[in-house]
Amino acid sequence: MATKTEEGATAGTEAQGDDTAVEAAITEKDTARAEALEEHSGKADAVEEESGEQEPAQEKVPSGVGQGAGAVVSAALGFVSLSGGWIGTVAGAREQLVGQLRTSSTASVATQIKAVYGNAWHSTALWAGLFALAALLTGVVVLARPAFGTPGRPQAPWIKSVAWAGVSLGVIGLLLAVLKYSDALLALPSTG
């Protein structure tokens, strides 16, 4: 008759054998799955190579960041054309200084006013006109961009609004610059 220790040892050995058998079965299943996946993958690659077709890569969808930035730049340039930027101010001050240096003290009052103030006024108007033209062109490019972009991808409404604001400010600024430069608006005072 077997003793209790022999029975426990036999049961332990049988349990270890069962665990080993389970592990072996799991390993066999995993190996079979891996082989099946490799085989399936190989067949898919072979079919892809034979047909010469590959799955189309997903297209990169433009985010519209560039158009948004262009619209904001257009509006900012339009605002600068109306309010006067530091470039126009510096150019006007320079022309005023040049007019003072080149005009003799014996020149007529009309000549002194034209040389000192008129040229400065025209220089400021010229720079305002350049900023207005830049605003107008930038806004038009932003508004026209969707026509040459991805078909079926509409432009964000805020981009259109800001670009239209830039175009509007550019047109107004350009009109005012032309009127100032031609002395139709705020002409120099007459000396007569």
Residue 4 included in any domain: no
Residue 74 included in any domain: yes
Residue 172 included in any domain: yes
CA 179 – CA 185 distance, rounded (Å): 5
Q: Give the pLDDT means over successive 10-residue stretches in the chain (192 positions).
A: 53 56 63 66 52 57 80 95 89 89 82 85 93 96 82 83 96 95 82 68
Q: Which domain holds residue 135?
A: 65-181
User: Are 85 and 153 part of one and the same domain?
Assistant: yes
Q: Count up the domains in the chain and report the number.
A: 2
Residue from 91, 76, 68 nearest 143 by CA? 68
pTM of the model: 0.63
Residue 192 included in any domain: no
> What pLDDT does 47 receive?
46
> What pLDDT does 36 receive?
63
User: Are 73 and 40 part of one and the same domain?
Assistant: no
Residue from 191, 135, 145 nearest 167 by CA? 135
> What pLDDT does 138 receive?
96
